[in-house]
């Protein structure tokens, strides 16, 4: 039996290795780029955050996010790490639950998978882009334009549109669309958000631990706590990635309300500021020792405190204005950055058209899909690769089973 897998990324490689566990199966793994795992190599800033020990259904999104439950239960973080250990990869977990290769190099993950693919019943066809998949009789014809390959079963593992420079494309959606499947609207997630606030560029490079709330016309849409990073165009960092899925989706005034001291109440901060009024230091130093110096100055100024004065001259009303600015600072948002900057695609092929226990299409027998092409996306911190391993393995195991 021949199983054709379209896409040699994380989910496609997991699927290939699972399908090839059946020695009677011949796997054809099609990858349009010159090498498998191109995107994987760039993940986690080159370190590859390959899973998260806390990954569970709650960390996933989509129009029917419960779809992810079965695959995650069958092959969750623990089993994934055992599997990688069996392939020869040593890993290390951070206190946050994020897991990285012990070498701290994404290349190690790609290499281990590449070596594992060197099996007699797996043929990797790198540099081959599949242009068409047709359902022919009880099987499929997988066509690259130059050559057509007969396959008994096909797994679409083409990934999503995010990270276009690393291979993200519409290909999987199109192939599945031609076979009768439907997609939701696609949008970038785990992405930076642009702002037209004049102070952004001046804070470029500043990092801060904060609680971020996304509001539209005063209504709360998302919130998270973690590290924020200011960029030339707006806001970035894990906390922003986390809330980016829900930002600027529709008309209205979108803002990001930042609490730069989530562990301290406004009253506690005010007390601390009052303690500082004994000093003759200039007002620009009011938040020194509390926040990043540049951020402290911007917030003091934004609270209406003009320079050229000493901290001891500040009134209680002015100190209150500063503590309010620190605890609830509003930054207007314009739009998320595009798919090329996004780490994952929110939306995708409708999951109710697939069986969550096998990843097989409910419309086309013998057709499977896994990974980011489906309408499932995960939180920041290893959740998306975990989905790729879980869904890829499930698709591969079932596609590789002999028909009864």
Ligand X SMILES: Cc1cc2nc3c(=O)[nH]c(=O)nc-3n(C[C@H](O)[C@H](O)[C@H](O)COP(=O)(O)OP(=O)(O)OC[C@H]3O[C@@H](n4cnc5c(N)ncnc54)[C@H](O)[C@@H]3O)c2cc1C
- Quote the DSSP letter at residue 403: P
- Which of 173, 183, 245 lies closest to 214 in space, CA to CA? 245
Residue 44 in contact with ligand X, rule: CB under 6 A: yes
Q: Counting Cβ atoms within 10 Å, is residue 274 exposed (0-12), middle (13-18) or buried (19+)?
A: middle
φ, ψ of residue 363 to 5 degrees: the values are: -105, -35
- State which residue, 42 or 222, has the beta carbon closest to ligand X: 42
Enumerate residues 6+ apart whose C-beta is below 8 A from 275.
none
Stretch that binds ligand X, among 30-38, 64-72, 80-88, 293-301 (CB under 6 A): 30-38
- State which residue, 27 or 291, has the beta carbon closest to ligand X: 27
Q: Tell me which of 234, 347, 382, 396 binds ligand X, using CB under 6 A.
A: 382
Stretch that binds ligand X, among 9-17, 221-229, 284-292, 318-326 (CB under 6 A): 9-17
Q: Tell me which of 171, 183, 361, 390 binds ligand X, using CB under 6 A.
A: 171
Report CA dihedral (334, 374, 180, 353) to the nearest 10 degrees.
Answer: -120
> At its nearest, how many Å lie between ligand X and the CB of residue 133?
9
- State which residue, 54 or 292, has the beta carbon closest to ligand X: 54
Residue 12 in contact with ligand X, rule: CB under 6 A: yes
- State which residue, 107 or 169, has the beta carbon closest to ligand X: 169
Interactions with ligand X, residue window 340-359 (CB under 6 A): 343-344
- State which residue, 158 or 243, has the beta carbon closest to ligand X: 158
C-alpha distances in angstroms, 218 versus 65, 221, 328?
A: 27, 9, 13
Enumerate residues 6+ apart whose C-beta is below 8 A from 142.
4, 6, 28, 30, 130, 132, 133, 148, 149, 150, 151, 154
Euclidean distance between CA atoms 77 and 384, whole angstroms: 12
φ, ψ of residue 348 to 5 degrees: the values are: 150, -160
- State which residue, 145 or 252, has the beta carbon closest to ligand X: 145
Residue 33 in contact with ligand X, rule: CB under 6 A: yes
Question: How many alpha carbons fall within 13 Å on the CB side of residue 174?
Answer: 8
Taking residues 134 to 163 in sequence order and writing x for each that binds ligand X by CB under 6 A, - otherwise, the string is -----------------------xxx--xx
Q: Counting Cβ atoms within 10 Å, is residue 95 exposed (0-12), middle (13-18) or buried (19+)?
A: exposed
The answer to whether 229 and 292 are in contact (CB under 8 A) is: no
Q: Does an H or E element contain 321, and which?
A: helix 316-327
Stretch that binds ligand X, among 56-64, 165-173, 218-226, 280-288 (CB under 6 A): 165-173
> At its nearest, how many Å lie between ligand X and the CB of residue 260?
26
Q: Tell me which of 188, 347, 371, 396 binds ligand X, using CB under 6 A.
A: 371
Q: Tell me which of 30, 197, 254, 329 binds ligand X, using CB under 6 A.
A: 30
Residue 7 in contact with ligand X, rule: CB under 6 A: yes
Q: Tell me which of 18, 130, 269, 376 binds ligand X, using CB under 6 A.
A: 130
Binding residues for ligand X, per CB under 6 A?
6-12, 30-33, 38-40, 42-44, 48-49, 129-130, 157-159, 162-163, 166-167, 169, 171-172, 343-344, 371-372, 382-385, 388
């Amino acid at each position: 039996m021949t199983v054709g897998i379209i896409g040699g990324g994380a989910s496609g490689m997991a699927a290939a290795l699972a399908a090839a566990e059946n020695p009677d199966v011949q796997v054809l793994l099609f990858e349009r780029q010159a090498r498998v795992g191109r995107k994987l190599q760039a993940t986690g800033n080159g370190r590859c955050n390959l899973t998260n020990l806390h990954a569970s259904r709650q960390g996933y999104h989509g129009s029917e996010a419960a779809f992810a439950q079965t695959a995650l239960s069958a092959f969750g973080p623990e089993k994934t790490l055992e599997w990688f250990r069996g392939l020869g990869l040593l890993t290390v977990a951070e206190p946050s639950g994020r897991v990285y290769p012990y070498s701290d190099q994404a290349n190690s993950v790609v290499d281990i998978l590449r070596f594992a693919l060197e099996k007699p019943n797996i043929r990797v066809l790198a540099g081959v882009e599949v242009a068409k998949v047709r359902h022919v009789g009880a099987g499929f014809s997988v066509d690259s334009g130059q050559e057509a390959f007969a396959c008994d079963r096909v797994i679409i593992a083409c990934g999503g549109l995010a990270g276009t420079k690393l291979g993200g494309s519409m290909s999987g959606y199109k192939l599945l669309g031609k076979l009768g499947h439907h997609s939701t609207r696609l949008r970038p997630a785990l992405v930076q958000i642009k702002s037209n606030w004049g102070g952004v560029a001046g804070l470029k490079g500043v990092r801060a631990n904060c609680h971020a709330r996304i509001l539209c016309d005063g209504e709360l849409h998302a919130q998270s706590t973690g590290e924020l990073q200011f960029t030339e165009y707006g806001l970035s960092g894990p906390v922003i990635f986390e809330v980016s899925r829900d930002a600027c989706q529709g008309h209205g005034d979108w803002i990001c309300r930042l609490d730069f001291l989530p562990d301290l109440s406004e009253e506690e901060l005010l007390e601390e500021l009052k303690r500082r009024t004994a000093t003759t230091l200039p007002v620009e130093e009011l938040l020194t020792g509390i926040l990043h110096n540049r951020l402290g100055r911007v917030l003091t100024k934004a609270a209406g405190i003009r320079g050229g004065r000493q901290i001891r001259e500040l009134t209680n009303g002015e100190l209150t204005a500063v503590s309010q600015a620190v605890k609830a600072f509003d930054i207007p948002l314009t739009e998320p950055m595009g798919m090329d900057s996004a780490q994952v695609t929110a939306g995708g092929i409708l999951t109710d058209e697939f069986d969550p226990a096998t990843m097989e299409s409910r419309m086309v027998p013998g057709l499977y899909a896994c990974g980011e092409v489906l309408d499932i996306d995960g939180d920041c911190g290893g959740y998306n690769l975990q989905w790729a391993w879980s869904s890829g393995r499930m698709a591969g195991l079932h596609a590789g089973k002999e028909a009864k």
